[in-house]
Structure 1
Amino acid sequence: MRAPLQFVLDFFTGGDPVQPAPPASVAPTADARVPDVSSAPSSPSASVPSTGDQETPLAHPENSPWGFIHPAANRHAQLQGVTVSYRFERSRRKSIGFLVGADGLVVRSPNWVTMREVDAAVQEKGAWIVAKLQQFKERQTEQFHKAIEWRHGAEVPFLGRTVQLCVLERGVGRVLGQDIPPEQVLPVTVPPGASVTQVRDAAQAWLKKQAKVLFEERLHHFAPLLGVRWQKLSLSSASTRWGSARVDGHIRLNWRLIHLPISQIDYVVVHELAHLREMNHSPRFWETVGEVMPDYAERRKALRQAPVDLKED
């Protein structure tokens, strides 16, 4: 049976129209930060010029064991046994370029190069691509874990503000930091002599519990307004996206959204619910989002500007 169609919400969105380019040879570029690229609600995304080969956007592959997915991916490849979903663009380059950054892989090609040649070049650079993608993922993970010092008294982002991490050792008769108002406290209980990792895991378990309750509440609020039904909510720890929606009503939301203001959380919730009506980023999709959230563009922009160390796994 064919797997349900899934659509994902990107961390970074935006982009410029794609321009054709003069002929050139195939050569990789140096490692660089990937510019924002995807369909934007303010203007239709440019179509990729045809070269006689298939260049239409491809549906995202169903959840593979592991892989790398660019938020605005329109092509996919199996490289070194890994699924790599990447953004393909035509540009004014003089060669096929491979840009690897925090969003994933972007492949840019002159207009005259056929898709068969592009696919062959991607395969040829497969080992380099996967190595670079893994390096970025590891760097992002390190940045996130360095962002918060998981110890008593640490400040943890929560719903756009901060709460103070209050650590109680099991068996101790008092809660450290009990003089702080409850709404400003992230309480955790750990064994005596607990490590930083144990404190972090306990704190994240608390955050995930808060996230699940809040996300369900917001889904119940917005689904009737959009005239859709969601069937299941799962928390995600994805390192490349805020959420995803499948046609069977399964919604996945990144638990780290709990760090962000409720206005941005609501935008992601509405974005995913809107996909239950439009499994694309067409003008009709953005019209659907706008039905219940007229200021979605401002919220979307704020989400793009959220600190990276709050978004990566």
Structure 2
Amino acid sequence: MPYSFFSSFLRRERKAEPMQKPPSRQRPAVALDNSQLDLPFEHAPVFSSPAPLRGDVPPTEPAAPPSPVSKPLPDGTRQRRIVLGARALDYRLKRSSRRTIGFCIDGTGLSITAPRWVTIADIESAIGDKQNWIFRKLTKWQTRVEQRALPRIEWKEGAEFPFLGKTIRVSLAGASTLSFDQQTNVLSLPLPALADAQQIKDRVQGWLQSKAKRIFGERLVVYAQKLGVEFRSHALSSAATRWGSCSSDGKIRLNWRLIHFPMSIIDYVVAHELAHLREMNHSPRFWQTVESIFPEFREARHTLKHHPPDLLPAL
């Protein structure tokens, strides 16, 4: 398995677009979440209902049947619970004077901010309609929290880390210069056997970033020629949620942590960012452009969605 190394290190959303107040007492539409956690390079479509008509009189909210859990919290929100089939879902509800309703899922759970005119019945009906999506996102956040609790790399003799999809081992054998043996996948550092962990980490990270700068530059040239475009410059980034970016003036930034992955993953991100020089969006034409120079992009995109930058080994 090309990504078997990551299974050992990586066992390890936020604002949903608002839905507008409907012009009549029809049920509100629901927007999809649009978080970089799940979609590093693309945004989910947003659906909303039309704005209210002038002169509409907000209906009086009828008394809702008591929720199994409904209690005020110190921050002014109200904790509620809805039972969906065999599962109970807790959420925080905040009322405001805004004209829209927003759903937010993060590490603390589901939060809803709703106008005062929206009934509890409408809110919980919307939750019921999207329960599969909600539970899926909550599960991902829970997994994220658990993964963060995993032990970090212990930087010492024999420490291992990923490089181009392979496992590299650190050696502190008193080498006079930094060297890498491609046959044994050993990185020898010119440090004493009892070197400080931070020293080892800094040397490894410096080596990885120098390799990333060179390799990314080479791949950008290759794929720019394939696409017939020119980029102005490239630089490394340390973004927590993005693998790459491309500005309209041709400046490309690539996350240095991509160097952990096999070359095919790097090539996908390179092709993706260069395609933005043709299409500064994520339209069907954009993905056709990516596919024209990197036909296997779907598998690579799937891999990166399951390995966000901030869940990679703690380098």
Q: Same fold (TM over 0.5)?
A: yes
1:148–1:98 CA distance, 2 compared to 1 (3 A): same
* 1:52 maps onto 2:54 in alignment: no
Distance (whole Å) between structure 2 residues aligned to residue 275 and residue 106 of structure 1: 34
Query: How far 1:214 moved relative to its partner?
Result: 0.7
Given that 1:140 and 1:309 are in contact with CA atoms closer than 8 Å, whether structure 2 keeps it comes out as no
**Residues 115-126 of structure 1: matches in 2 within 5 Å?**
none
Distance (whole Å) between structure 1 residues aligned to residue 236 and residue 19 of structure 2: 39
Given that 2:243 and 2:269 are in contact with CA atoms closer than 8 Å, whether structure 1 keeps it comes out as yes
Paired AA for residue 98 in structure 1: C
Q: Which residue of 1 aligns with 2:207?
A: 206
Q: Any idea what the Cα deviations from partners look like across 1:140-164, whole Å, max 9, x if unmatched? A: 99668x4322111111111111111
**Residues 285-300 of structure 1: matches in 2 within 5 Å?**
285-300=286-301
**Residues 152-167 of structure 1: matches in 2 within 5 Å?**
152-167=157-172
Paired AA for residue 151 in structure 1: K
For the pair shown, which has the larger CA radius of gyration, 1 or 2?
Answer: 2
1:244–1:196 CA distance, 2 compared to 1 (3 A): same
**Residues 16-95 of structure 1: matches in 2 within 5 Å?**
22=27, 36=38, 45-52=44-51
Distance (whole Å) between structure 2 residues aligned to residue 305 and residue 173 of structure 1: 39
The count of residues paired between Structure 1 and Structure 2 equals 219
Distance (whole Å) between structure 1 residues aligned to residue 183 and residue 290 of structure 2: 35
Distance (whole Å) between structure 2 residues aligned to residue 52 and residue 269 of structure 1: 41
Query: How far 1:283 moved relative to its partner?
Result: 1.1
Q: Any idea what the Cα deviations from partners look like across 1:224-262, whole Å, max 9, x if unmatched? A: 111211111111111111111111111111111010111
Q: Which residue of 1 aligns with 2:127?
A: none
* 1:100 maps onto 2:106 in alignment: yes
Given that 2:17 and 2:102 are in contact with CA atoms closer than 8 Å, whether structure 1 keeps it comes out as no
Query: How far 1:52 moved relative to its partner?
Result: 3.4
Tell me which moved more, 267-276 or 146-155: 146-155
SS across alignment from 2:243: strand
Distance (whole Å) between structure 1 residues aligned to residue 263 and residue 246 of structure 2: 20
Paired AA for residue 205 in structure 1: G
Query: How far 1:272 moved relative to its partner?
Result: 0.6
Q: Any idea what the Cα deviations from partners look like across 1:32-54, whole Å, max 9, x if unmatched? A: x99835886xxx9534314439x
Distance (whole Å) between structure 2 residues aligned to residue 196 and residue 101 of structure 1: 31
SS across alignment from 1:190: coil
Paired AA for residue 163 in structure 1: I
Given that 2:37 and 2:241 are in contact with CA atoms closer than 8 Å, whether structure 1 keeps it comes out as no
Distance (whole Å) between structure 2 residues aligned to residue 110 and residue 303 of structure 1: 34
Distance (whole Å) between structure 2 residues aligned to residue 19 and residue 164 of structure 1: 52
Distance (whole Å) between structure 1 residues aligned to residue 113 and residue 50 of structure 2: 11
Q: Any idea what the Cα deviations from partners look like across 1:6-35, whole Å, max 9, x if unmatched? A: xxxxxxx9xx99999946xxxxxxxxx998
Distance (whole Å) between structure 1 residues aligned to residue 231 and residue 222 of structure 2: 11
**Residues 5-16 of structure 1: matches in 2 within 5 Å?**
none
Q: Which residue of 1 aligns with 2:86?
A: none
Q: Which residue of 2 aligns with 1:151?
A: 156
Structure 1: stretches of 5+ with no match in the other structure: 1-12, 24-32, 54-92, 114-135
Q: TM-score scaled by structure 1?
A: 0.56
Identity %: 41
Paired AA for residue 184 in structure 1: N
Q: Any idea what the Cα deviations from partners look like across 1:38-74, whole Å, max 9, x if unmatched? A: 886xxx9534314439xxxxxxxxxxxxxxxxxxxxx
Given that 1:187 and 1:203 are in contact with CA atoms closer than 8 Å, whether structure 2 keeps it comes out as no
Distance (whole Å) between structure 2 residues aligned to residue 106 and residue 294 of structure 1: 38
Paired AA for residue 201 in structure 2: R
Q: TM-score scaled by structure 2?
A: 0.56
Q: Which residue of 1 aligns with 2:312?
A: 310
Q: What root-mean-square deviation, in Å, do the aligned CA atoms of Structure 1 and Structure 2 show?
A: 4.5
Distance (whole Å) between structure 2 residues aligned to residue 99 and residue 220 of structure 1: 40
More relative contact order, 1 or 2 (CA 8 Å, 6+ apart): 1
Distance (whole Å) between structure 2 residues aligned to residue 246 and residue 150 of structure 1: 37
Q: Which residue of 2 aligns with 1:56?
A: none
